[in-house]
Structure formats: C-alpha cells, structure tokens
Amino acid sequence: MRIPIFVLFALSLAPTLRAADPYTPLWLYSGSWRVTHKDQPPEKLTNQCSLVGRYFTCEQTVNGVAGNLLIFIPVPDKPGRYYTQNVRPEGRASSRGDLEIQGDRWVYTSTWDQGGSTVYYRNTNVFSGRNKITYEQAESTDNKNWTVKNSGEEIRVSSSAR
C-alpha cells in the first residue's frame, strides 16, 4: 500500500505543530494544588481548565468555594505572550493583564487605577517540574521599585484529565 507523500509530510509536521501550540504550557495549571503562604494556613486551589475556541480558561475554586474565572488569549505573533482577564463570580472583570512565559518562569503583570494614581502588580511563578510552583506577588507605584506582598509554594495534589 502506498501512502501519498502529502500524508507523510503532514504526519512529519505533527510534532512541530504540537510544540508550537500556544496552549500547551497553560495546561500545567489544570488540577488541584496545596498552596502555602507565609503565616497563613494552607489552602486547596483547584483549576478546572478547558479550551473554548481560541480562549483558554481556568475556573478556580479555593477550599471548595467558587472563585475566579481566568481567561488566557495568545498574543498574535508573540510566542509565550498572553493577554489575561480575571472574572469574579459576580461577573466583574479586572483590567486586562499580561502573561509572559519564558521556560519555567511565568510573569503576570497588570495595573489598577486607584483614584488617579496607578498601581502596578507583578506575580511571578517559577515551575519546578510539573508539580511545584514557587510564587511571589509584588506591587509598585512606579513600575521600578517593587514591594513583595505575598510569596509561597503550590504543590500539585492531583491532575485533571485533559
């Protein structure tokens, strides 16, 4: 049986196409995590993620209580860059944020206008394999000098089926 050459060519490209899939790294979030913060009891964070058209979403629950819906949109022609949106259970959305993924380092940035002055936010996640995240949340009023407001670890306790 002869296989047409274009079929072989398409099959040879399949691994390359998967590697370029902008949603692949986002699937790491899916599942349940034990979150530890300094001077606070641990929490259970569950991310139920799915791909809806070109939107990647994660519904979050914290200690069994419905939390935010996170929306990720790949930035065209900028691998590893995403626009983000955070929607609270009552339907209110935050301002648009940005996510830049470089290897195991994920940096979320956003701003908030507080009565005429801008507050900058930066959340840095560093993955150690698939099952551990070390995070740091910081704020700035000038986007140069940062104050760490929270830090800790997330350890995966279960994966979600994809």
Task: Give a yes or no: residue 87 inside a domain.
Answer: yes
Task: Give a yes or no: residue 66 inside a domain.
Answer: yes
Question: Would you say 140 and 131 are in contact if contact means Cβ atoms under 8 Å apart?
Answer: no
Task: Give a yes or no: residue 95 inside a domain.
Answer: yes
Assess whether pLDDT exceeds 70 at residue 18.
Answer: no
Which is more confidently placed, 50 or 10?
50
Report the pLDDT value the prediction gives residue 109, as an integer from 0 to 100. Answer: 97
Task: Give a yes or no: residue 69 inside a domain.
Answer: yes
Number of domains in the chain: 1
Report the pLDDT value the prediction gives residue 88, as an integer from 0 to 100. Answer: 94
Task: Give a yes or no: residue 154 inside a domain.
Answer: yes
Among 33, 63, 36, 65, which Cα is nearest to 47's? 33
Spell 5-31 as b/e; 16+ CB within 10 A means b: eeeeeeeeeeeeeeeeebeebbbbbbb
User: What residues make up the domain containing 63?
Assistant: 24-158
Q: What is the CATH number of the domain that holds 64?
A: 2.40.128.20
The residue behind tokens 């995403």 is 82
Per-residue pLDDT tens digits for 69-92: 999 999 999 999 999 999 999 999
Ramachandran sector of residue 41 (left: φ over 0; alpha: ψ -120 to 50; beta: rest):
beta
Task: Give a yes or no: residue 78 inside a domain.
Answer: yes
Cα dihedral sign, 127-81-89-137: positive
Taking only Cα atoms into account, the Rg of the chain, rounded to an integer number of angstroms, comes to: 18
Per-residue pLDDT tens digits for 127-149: 999 999 999 999 999 999 999 99
Rounded to whole angstroms, how far apart are CA atoms 59 and 83?
17
Task: Give a yes or no: residue 49 inside a domain.
Answer: yes
Task: Give a yes or no: residue 14 inside a domain.
Answer: no
Q: What is the pTM of this model?
A: 0.83
